[in-house]
Amino acid sequence: MLTPESGRSATAAVELTIEPRVRSLGDFDVRRVLPAAKRRMVGPFVFLDHMGPAELAPGRGIAVRPHPHIGLATITYLFEGEIMHRDSLGYRQLIEPGAVNLMTAGRGIVHSERAPDSSVAARLHGIQSWVALPLELEETEPTFVHYPASSLPEQSIDGSTVRVIMGGAYGLQSPVLTHSPTLYFAATLPAGATLAVLDEAPERGVYVVSGRVTIDGRTYGEGTLAVLRAGTTVPLRAETETRAIVVGGASIGPRHIWWNFVSSSEARIERAKRDWLEMRFGTVPGDDEFIPLPTS
């Protein structure tokens, strides 16, 4: 659901708010924030899923079978739990809290995301996002890079803790590869703290992972994305202990999205559909299942 900030001044800090739609991943649900009907992207971010927090029974967990992507890069970032990534390039990588898995699909890749081989009960909580690739990189060779948690810069700012996941913020620079100007950081705010979201990107959105924040006199709770007006520094005041992420960057222009495919060309998406139907994308070593092409 999308809520325009109607009746507010043209100088209001929040341009609009987006409430997520719930989607099932089998043993737990995710909250899908982007794309939304009236706001498809924030900067290059074309997709944003909030996974959990979920309590996973022994032997259960995330089980996303092999599926294809084109024209995008996926970013997986966890607060709690573990996910095993496997892909058609042969990579097998466990991601743990605070680390980043960056998979650039380019002309095409197949991957799966599953709970690690363990029967121990656990929690899973994290964010998976996609950034659309700029035109000149849509058909680039696929790649995968893992960045350990220790490689991401973190700093205390006005009593809050900021970790820069991609791009730069507050003078900190993440080592994670970006394909276009990108802003992505996580912040933990104690109750009563105020963190200024600087005017460091043309497009910015604040997503409340947990807790509540006040922006420009209005309170935004867990699961809300507040898209900020351009050209302003926006103070976030934590009403309770709060975890939030800020995403954004420069616009790269409109994109078509169908299932797991993102492209500037509808014809390219149609070709990707045929390629998956005819199994021309490749396979994931050690993971023989796959998700069939949707019928609609």
pLDDT in tens, 51-98: 989 887 776 778 899 999 999 999 999 999 999 999 999 999 999 999
| Residue 7 confidence (pLDDT) | 44
- How far apart are alpha carbons 175 and 95 in whole angstroms? 17
pLDDT at 20 (0 to 100):
93
Q: Burial, 246: exposed, middle or buried (Cβ in 10 Å; 0-12, 13-18, 19+)?
A: buried
Question: Dihedral through CA 54, CA 60, CA 65, CA 71, nearest 10?
Answer: 20
Longest dimension (CA), the chain: 56
- pLDDT computed for residue 163 by the predictor: 98
Determine contact, residues 74/45, Cβ cutoff 8 Å. no
Strand ranges across the sheet with 109-114: 63-69, 109-114, 83-87, 92-95
Give the distance, in angstroms, between the CA of residue 18 and the centroid of all CA atoms in the same chain.
15
pLDDT at 4: 52
**Closest by Cα among 213, 218, 210 to 239:** 213
What is the C-alpha separation between 178 and 148, in angstroms, rounded? 16
The pLDDT assigned to 6 comes to 45
Nearest Cα to Cα of residue 163 among 143, 145, 148, 146: 148
Instruction: Enter the tokens of residue 27.
Output: 């043993």
pLDDT per residue of the chain (296 residues) written in tens, 0 to 9: 555 554 454 458 999 999 999 987 666 789 999 999 989 999 999 999 999 898 877 767 788 999 999 999 999 999 999 999 999 999 999 999 999 999 999 999 999 999 887 656 578 999 999 999 999 999 999 999 999 999 999 999 999 999 999 999 999 999 999 999 999 999 999 999 999 999 999 999 999 999 999 999 999 999 999 999 999 999 999 999 999 999 999 999 999 999 999 999 999 999 999 999 999 999 999 999 999 999 87
Residues 31/50, Cβ–Cβ less than 8 Å: yes
Asked if residue 48 lies in contact with residue 56, where contact means CB atoms within 8 angstroms, the answer is no
Pinpoint the alpha helices (H) of the chain: 266-277
Pair 216, 234: CB distance under 8 Å = yes
Contact 273, 241 (CB under 8 A): no
**Gap between the Cα atoms of 288 and 2, Å rounded:** 39
